[in-house]
Amino acid sequence: MNIGKILAVVLVLAAFAGGMIIGKGSQEDAAPVVVESAGSGATYSGGFTAKDNEFTLSGNSKSVAGPPMTDVVVVVKDGESIQQAVQNAEPGTTIQVMPGTYKETVFIDKDGIRLIGVIKGSERPVLDGEGELNDAILFSGNNIVVENFKITRYKGNGIMSQAGNNWEIRNNYIVDTGVYGIFPQLGQNGVVEHNVVSGIEDAAIYVGMSDNVHVAYNDVYDSVAGIEIENSRHAVVESNRTYNNTGGILAFITPGLPIKTTYDVIIRNNFVLSNNHVNFGAPGSTVAGIPAGTGILVMAADDVVIEGNIIKDNKNAGILVTDHSHAANVTIDPESEPNSDRVKILNNTMINNGYDAINEIKALMLTELKTGNPDIVSVGPSTDSCIINRQQYITVGLGGYGDCDFSNTATIGNYLLPPVPPREIKPGDKGKIAYLGICAGCHTYTGRMIGPPVQIIQALYMDNPQGIADYIANPIKKRDDYPEMPPQDYLDEETRLAVAEFMLGVKK
């Protein structure tokens, strides 16, 4: 077989494997394939195919926290403590906060709390950290709503969550505050919308290690990163305005985090303007490596769709796609895949980007004999990525990109779910798990441990589980030869009775 034939065979195989890929170079010489604007072509079917995705809300406002669990409303007035109200509140309480200045950290470790600022005229409640307090609002509960606050001068974050599901963070004005303005982390199903965030030394809005997130209608400026979707999946970032940040909108995998992937992110219909702020990120932070003037940055994330954005006056590049090895300031992580694969760039309006690109990009332009200012730059491997109407942009490094076979994401409203229900626990399991998780530490069936044997307890309370349930909530010292039992009143009444019933049925 001669060499010509091998080459031909390889080319055919490559074209077959890549769907519509044609050899590098030839695409820009031939007459361009023109795909009409959104609405006419085929529609992206999305990477998220879970059955729950049938849930799509109409309108702009998204309710994932569900309606209030109770009709209890508590009002906090200027001079009172929001935290005190949270502490006193039962799950399901709506806490209305009147205009005034509140100098405190509010933490919510219970479910269903709706923290709603009351706006009167132009006045809204202000959380002021005075440059001394750490975070303004921090929650770990589920179904939490935080609305209508002004938050300023905190050292840490404005609003952060740790593992809460079904959150809504809406209509807040967060200015000159610490590291992240809004930082939901390790949760599922959340909305961040209609917030104004500025003057943040890392990301103004930072979605970290989360699933099913919607970030919309926010105004973010004067920060290092505008909106960052990091190690997260099923996120829509739409209709935000990001300007005068170092980088506008980011979809990242940060290596070294315990959740290793970012995929299925739609970035659409945003204004991404003049993100040329000098980088003032903390030394060593991932965002400190972002070149100033980067509109949209994709690093190692997969299945990112970029559609319908107005990307204007970003001096380094309009869109920069990179792998880990070409990025500054990132460590290595053998467990995370370093390339940005299956990036899909649809129609975007791009004006006057890349007029002061970093040297690495200029060098890349030279190697491809490109002139002008780059709108779209891709460095490092990027498998199965695609673009439509590439002739409308100045691009570099996109030789391997095929033509997308769709032009819009019109059928995907959002990736939100109905409020994620708490795991269903059968009453029997409740008793068993509490028994094994707690009681078994001090009681065995026959033997003496810290507490008396279960056999003896069974003999005493044979038909009286309620007696055990009452006793463990408020134990008294009964036996000289055993230490006094600590109260188990942290278990709710139902669990106490369930565990008592289970204990009476234990057989070994």
Partner 1 sequence: MTVRALTLAASLLWVWAGVATAENEAFKLRDYCPPSFEESAAGTCELRTLYDFYDSVQGAGLGGTQTALPAHRDGFTPQQIDLGRYLFFDPVLSADGTVSCASCHNPDQGFSDSLPRSRGIGGQEVARAAPTLWNTAFLNKFFWDAHATTLEEQMVGPLFAPDEMGNSPEALLATLNNIPAYQALFQQAFPQRQGERIQLDEVYLSLAAFQTSLISLNSRYDRYAHGYHAALSEPEVEGLNIFRSFVARCAECHTPPLFTNQQVAVIGAPEPEGRPVDVGAQLTYDAPELKAGFKVPTLRNIAQTAPYMHSGRFANLHEVAEFYNGGRGHAVPKGLDLQLHWHISSPNLTDYELDRLVDFLGTLTDESLKPEVPKQLPSGLAPIDGEPQAGIVTTQKTSGDAS
Collect all residues with Cβ–Cβ distance below 8 Å to 39 and sequence separation of at least 6.
408, 410
Contact (CB, 8 A) for 167 and 182: no
Q: 162 or 239: whose CB is closer to partner 1?
A: 162
DSSP code for 53? G
Q: Please report how close the Cβ of residue 498 comes to partner 1 at its closest, in angstroms.
A: 12
Q: How do 106-108 and 73-76 pair as beta strands? A: unpaired
| Residues 20-59, interacting with partner 1 (CB under 8 A) | none
Given a contact cutoff of 8 angstroms between Cβ atoms, the answer to whether 212 and 415 are in contact is: yes
Q: Among the candidate windows 8-16, 52-60, 313-321, 417-425, which touches partner 1 by CB under 8 A?
A: 417-425
- Distance of closest approach, residue 211 Cβ to partner 1, in angstroms: 6
Of residues 72 and 425, the one with the C-beta less far from partner 1 = 425
- The residues that bridge with 152 in the sheet, in sequence order, are 128, 175
What pairs with residue 349 in β-bridges? 310
Q: Contacts with partner 1: how many residues (CB under 8 A)?
A: 74
Binding mask 123-152 for partner 1 (x = CB under 8 A): -----------xx--x-xxx----------
Contact 285, 228 (CB under 8 A): no
Give whichever of 387 and 498 is closer to partner 1, judged by the CB atom.
498
Binding mask 214-253 for partner 1 (x = CB under 8 A): -------------------x--------------------
Provide the minimum distance between the beta carbon of 505 and partner 1 in the complex, in angstroms, as a whole number: 13
Site for partner 1, residues 430 to 449, rule: CB under 8 A: 430, 432-434, 436-438, 440-442, 444-446, 449
Site residues (CB under 8 A) for partner 1, limited to 62-91: 87
Check residue 90 and report its DSSP letter.
P
Kindly write out the interface string for residues 250-289 of this chain, putting x where it contacts partner 1 by CB under 8 A and - elsewhere: ------xxxx-x--------------------xxxxx---
Range 312-341, binding partner 1 (CB under 8 A): 331-332, 334
Torsion of CA 83, 87, 92, 93, to 10 degrees: -60
Q: Please answer whether residues 352 and 312 qualify as being in contact, where contact means their C-beta atoms are separated by less than 8 angstroms.
A: yes
User: What's the one-letter identity of residue 397?
Assistant: G
Answer positive or negative: Cα dihedral of 120, 122, 124, 130: negative
Least distance in angstroms from the C-beta of 125 to partner 1? 20
Does residue 508 belong to the site contacting partner 1 (CB under 8 A)?
yes
Q: Contact with partner 1 (CB under 8 A): which of 54, 459, 463, 476?
A: 459
Helix (H, G, I), strand (E, B) or coil at 93: coil
Total length of the chain: 508
Q: Which of residues 176-205 bind partner 1 (CB under 8 A)?
A: 178-180, 183, 185-188
Query: Tokens 């929001």 belong to which residue?
Result: 82
Q: How far is the CB of 80 from partner 1 (least distance, A)?
A: 18
Other beta carbons less than 10 A from residue 90's beta carbon: 13
Nearer to partner 1, 60 or 331 (CB): 331
Q: 186 near 167, Cβ under 8 Å?
A: no
Quick one: 209 or 292, whose CB is closer to partner 1? Answer: 209
Q: Using the rule CB under 8 A, is 423 a contact of partner 1?
A: yes
Q: How far is the CB of 161 from partner 1 (least distance, A)?
A: 8
Query: Residue 59 carries which side chain, given as an amino acid letter?
Result: G
Q: Which is nearer to partner 1, 120 or 477 (CB)?
A: 477
103-122: contacts with partner 1 (CB under 8 A)? 105, 107, 109-110
Bridge-based pairing of strands 395-396 and 376-378 is parallel
Q: What's the distance, CA 64 to chain centroid?
A: 14
If one asks whether residue 99 binds partner 1 (CB under 8 A), the answer comes out as no
Give the number of C-alpha atoms closer than 13 A to the C-alpha of residue 97, restricted to the C-beta side.
28
